[in-house]
Structure 1
Amino acid sequence: MYPTLKTVIDGRLVELPGTIAAVRAQLPDADVPTFTHEVENAPADQLTVILARWALRATGADEEDEEVFQRLRAGDHSGCVPADDEAGTGTA
């Protein structure tokens, strides 16, 4: 069994490819050279982040994130918890 990355997208658990080869295999041919260049030149401590970002491309998660960012830019912070509110109570 190949390694996977796990995340939650739209409220459901999603498994993403967890190897460079598996991520590369899911990409459109036009994206492969850019992906390869980025992965081969990544600082070691950033490799997992870069791999996850590319793996997420096929999921639509970036669209979900963009909707949240647009809402926040518009001033709608409903459902948000301040980063320093570890308990999630909204009373930082």
Structure 2
Amino acid sequence: MEHALRTTVRGRRVEFPGTIDDIRASLPAEQRAEFDREIGAAPIMDVPLIAFRWSYPPEAREEDDEIVARIKAGEFAGVTYLDVDGDASAAP
């Protein structure tokens, strides 16, 4: 994929589709019509978010869900945040 996006999941580099055509090609055949309907009917400003949601690797989504669950449970180890000046700081 020429325009692949990249992220790290559990310490491993993962590539995912970076174009509408590549997203569509990466989907199982039974999901393509649904993707086409959703992306085709989307307001132009929503297209990037919808495309990202369809292209995001399941293992990355699972890792994100685990992080959110940890934060909701009150565990902030390894979490950083931006203060009002935009500086990154470790969570208290």
TM-score, normalised with respect to structure 1 = 0.76
Equivalent in the alignment of 2:69: 70
Q: Is this contact kept in 2: 1:4–1:16, CA < 8 A? A: yes
Residues 63 and 45 of structure 1, relative CA distance in 2, 3 Å threshold: same
Q: Is this contact kept in 2: 1:81–1:88, CA < 8 A? A: yes
Q: 2:26 & 2:41 partners in 1: Cα distance?
A: 20
Equivalent in the alignment of 2:14: 14
The structure richer in strand per residue is 2
Residues 81 and 16 of structure 1, relative CA distance in 2, 3 Å threshold: same
Partner SS, residue 89 of structure 1: strand
Offset of 1:12 from its aligned partner?
A: 4.1
Partner SS, residue 14 of structure 1: strand
Paired positions, count: 91
Q: Which amino acid in 1 is paired with 2:25?
A: A
Residues 37 and 84 of structure 1, relative CA distance in 2, 3 Å threshold: farther
Segments of 5+ residues of structure 2 without an aligned counterpart are none
Segments of 5+ residues of structure 1 without an aligned counterpart are none
Offset of 1:87 from its aligned partner?
A: 2.8
Offset of 1:62 from its aligned partner?
A: 0.6
Q: Which amino acid in 2 is paired with 1:45?
A: M
